[in-house]
Amino acid sequence: MLLRAIWLTSVALAALSVAGMLLLIVRRMILARSERKRGQLRDALMVRVVDYLDGTGDYYHLVRLAGQHPDIAGELIGEMRQLVRGAHREKLSELVVSLGIVAFNLKRLRSRDARQRRLAAAWLAVAPGEGVIAALEAALDDPDYHVRLEAVRSLTELRAVRSVIEIVEKLGGEAQYNSRVLYHIFRQLVPELSGQLVELLHSGHAVPIKVLALDALGKSGDGALVGPISALADDPSEELRAKALRSLGELGYPDASPFVLRALDDESWRVRTQAANCAGRIGCLAAIPRLTELLGDEQWWVSYRAAEALYVLGEEGRRALADAAARPGHAGRVSELIIAEKTQMAA
């Protein structure tokens, strides 16, 4: 009985393996043929679309070709739309509507297959219009995180995000807010929604969300934001204090000096590192004495950034650095190395 079961299992597994591989090989041959056809269709479509843009093409032939494979047409026109500007871009936007590609993707956005929904949500970024925006907003409630993320990305590209807080809440759990992809999205929300981003800073939302807002605001170049960002000086979160200093450094306004001077004494070495970096970037000459002290900080990155900051703080800073380099010990060694490195880079 046992022997028979063993043999039957062996035969079944062998048959399964052989059948599986045969099926795959056949499938591969079919796919290769279909991909060749898709490639030919794509080439033909490209010629028709270019002719259409030049006003010389046969529109009905184009409609017929695109209707056979709206996914290929959508992919192709989406790519072409990224390469062109002005009137041609507008024409392509009209074309995707008239060829039914928008309708195809709106339908695909309701597919049961999450992969199809993700592709549709990503594609719809090329198709401005109220219907598309409404569908993307509805996709923010999709059970699949990647569909929601693609919907947010597309809404951002279409400049159709109405509420930052809404997209943050709809995206989901705290861990997912940490995604650096969101940095890219949040940066695109400035300047239209910078007021909402400032509100986020002082809301009860989790630290990673505030970090996202701080990052975006730091890229805005808007000096009026120094105040709201500096208000995080006493935040209990080390990460927020450090990120706020980084953003102030990126803004580059000297108004941030009082906050930076205080942060140079922070108990966290990460915050001190960012403070030293920021002092250099905003040209905070008042920080020179404290930066000179920080050359001897036990954390290597603090002393390194302090030395770098002194080097960029003009003649006075470089003099302090040269004086420190003449002294023995860790501070002297770091100063000496930074001077050598910067001199070599300048050469």
Partner 1 sequence: MKAEIAQILSVLHPVAEITAWLVICQGMLQSAIYLGQLLLAYQTLRDSPPIRRSDALWWDYGDVAMPIALLMPAYNEEATIGESIRSVLALQYPSFEVIVINDGSKDGTLQALTAAFDLKPVVRPHEQAVSHRPIRGVYGSPRYANLLVIDKENGGKSDALNAGINLSRSPLFCAMDADSLLEPDALLRAVQPFVDDPYRVVAVGGTIRVVNGCEVRSGRVIRTGLPRRLLPLFQTIEYLRAFLMARLAWSRLDALTIVSGAFGIFRRSIAIEVGGYTHGTVGEDLEIVIKIHRRMQEAKRDYHIRFVPEPVCWTEVPESLRVLGRQRKRWQRGALETLARHRDMILNGNYGRVGMLGLGNALLTDAFGPLFEVLGYLLVPLFWATGLLSVDFLVAFLALTFVFGICISVGSLILEELELRRFPRARDLFILTLAAILENFGYRQLNNIWRVLGFYQYLRGKQGWGTMTRRGFAKKT
Least Cβ distance, residue 34 to partner 1 (angstroms):
13
The only residue of 44, 224, 286, 340 in contact with partner 1, by rule CB under 8 A: 340
What phi, psi does 203 have (nearest 5°)?
A: -90, 180
Distance from the Cα of residue 25 to its chain's centroid = 39
**Candidates 53-61, 229-237, 246-254, 336-344; binding stretch for partner 1 (CB under 8 A):** 336-344
Helix (H) or strand (E) holding 19, with range, is helix 2-53
Residue 84 in contact with partner 1, rule: CB under 8 A: no
157: which residues sit within 8 A by CB, 6+ positions away?
Answer: 125, 188
**Alpha carbon of 172 to those of 152, 163, 166, 184, 204: distances in Å?**
12, 15, 11, 17, 16
**Candidates 3-11, 56-64, 135-143, 286-294; binding stretch for partner 1 (CB under 8 A):** 3-11
Whose CA is closest to 151, among 176, 171, 180?
171
The only residue of 1, 3, 326, 346 in contact with partner 1, by rule CB under 8 A: 3
Whose CA is closest to 277, among 228, 227, 311, 323?
311
| Residues, the chain | 347
**Candidates 22-30, 127-135, 196-204, 249-257; binding stretch for partner 1 (CB under 8 A):** 22-30
The only residue of 51, 165, 301, 312 in contact with partner 1, by rule CB under 8 A: 301
Residue 14 in contact with partner 1, rule: CB under 8 A: yes
Given the complex with partner 1, which of 226 and 338 has the nearer CB atom? Answer: 338
- The pair of structure tokens assigned to 116 is 């199809």
Total residues interacting with partner 1, rule: CB under 8 A? 42
- The pair of structure tokens assigned to 207 is 């630290």
* Residues 100-139 close enough to bind partner 1 by CB under 8 A: 115, 118-119
The only residue of 38, 42, 91, 146 in contact with partner 1, by rule CB under 8 A: 146
Residue 16 in contact with partner 1, rule: CB under 8 A: yes
* Residues 148-187 close enough to bind partner 1 by CB under 8 A: 153, 175-176, 178-181, 183-184, 187
Given the complex with partner 1, which of 181 and 224 has the nearer CB atom? Answer: 181
Relative orientation angle of helices 314-325 and 330-346, to the nearest 10 degrees: 130
Beta strands in the chain (DSSP E): none
Given the complex with partner 1, which of 132 and 307 has the nearer CB atom? Answer: 307
Rounded CA gap, 136 and 142, in Å?
A: 10
Rounded CA gap, 289 and 127, in Å?
A: 56
- The pair of structure tokens assigned to 67 is 């209707």
**Candidates 225-233, 243-251, 274-282, 337-345; binding stretch for partner 1 (CB under 8 A):** 337-345
| Chain residues in the site for partner 1 (CB under 8 A) | 3, 6-7, 9-10, 13-14, 16-17, 20-21, 24-25, 27-29, 32, 115, 118-119, 146, 153, 175-176, 178-181, 183-184, 187, 208, 300-301, 304, 307, 334, 337-338, 340-341, 344
